[in-house]
Amino acid sequence: MVINLKLIQPLDHSKISSLKNLMPKFSGLPFAPGNKYSVAYQWGTVGLMYRKDKIKNMKPSLDVLFDPKSDGGPFLLLDSVREQIGIALKYLG
């Protein structure tokens, strides 16, 4: 839609020096043919970690973050809204 309305311009690949480092699996995806208007800028995962010596009965699940019945105890999260939304979307399927 934004492309059809000409609200964005095609990327100038000559100005993206790191484009040569793009892994082939992230190039020419169905939603970004030829990477004309978008290109992957990061890739990876954020996992759930805990100390087995401190939390004995931990069920490794995102339930500790989202299920009010879960007794996951205190936890820390990355200070990144983008990461938290990604975790929530993963949890919701």
Residue carrying the six token digits 């931990």: 58
Please state the pTM of the whole predicted model: 0.50
Identify whether residues 81 and 51 lie together within a single domain.
yes
Q: How far apart are CA 72 and CA 2, in angstroms?
A: 43
Instruction: State the amino acid at position 7 in one-letter form.
Output: L
Given a cut of 90, whether residue 28 has pLDDT beyond it is no
Looking at the fold, whether 57 and 28 belong to one and the same domain comes out as no
pLDDT digits (tens, 9 = 90+) for 50-71: 788 877 777 778 888 888 887 6
Residue type, 35: N
Using alpha carbons only, give the angle 40, 41, 42 rounded to the nearest 5 degrees. Answer: 100
Query: ∠84-43-31 over CA atoms, to 5°?
Result: 95
Domain that holds residue 18: 1-43
Q: Quote the number of domains for the chain.
A: 2
